[in-house]
Amino acid sequence: MCVCVCLCVCLCVCSRTVSKGTRLSEAKAINTSLSALGNVIAALADPHSPHVPFRDSKLTRLLQDSLGGTASTAMVATIGPAAVNYSETLSTLLFATRCMAVKSSPVLKEEIDYVELCTQLQAKVAIMQRQLEGARRTPNDDGSNPIAGGTCKCVHLYKYQCI
């Protein structure tokens, strides 16, 4: 059974707006999270970085599986064509460039059904026991039994070679 998770996060902050009260504190928290995300991206993009600071914000903890290299991740960077948006567009493009430097290798995580696995392994053991019994009963060309005489060396899991 395969479990898929789709995580969509919209990271849009306009730094030119004048905020007061609750909105100001929200904007500060968002900027702190975005700064922590930038630090995580920089650490992931650097192959020699000894530590990735996922625990610095709730956002990076939430995105840890997506950014950590075991999931398929896509980023959409939206920019504004107007001259007034130049600084925000530039910082967005620089951030997107750092994100593109992050290398990940998606891994399919499957839940193991141990009952089914046990049944399959028991069936394999039964097949191998039947093969072994058949090899014990089959004599060589010279009439000797290779397994009964103790001259058999196991070469492969399913195959026996007699010496």
**What is the value of pTM for the model shown?**
0.57
Give percent above pLDDT 70 in the chain: 74
| 127 — pLDDT class (breaks 50, 70, 90) | very high
Q: Where are the beta strands (DSSP E) in the chain?
A: 152-154, 160-162
SS3 percent helix, strand, coil of the chain, rounded to 5, is 50, 5, 45
Q: How far apart are CA 43 and CA 29, in angstroms?
A: 21
Q: Does the structure show a pLDDT above 70 at 110?
A: yes
Most confident of the following: 92-101, 130-139, 142-151: 92-101
The residues, any chain, with a CB within 8 Å of residue 52's CB and separated by 6 or more, are 40, 43, 44, 68
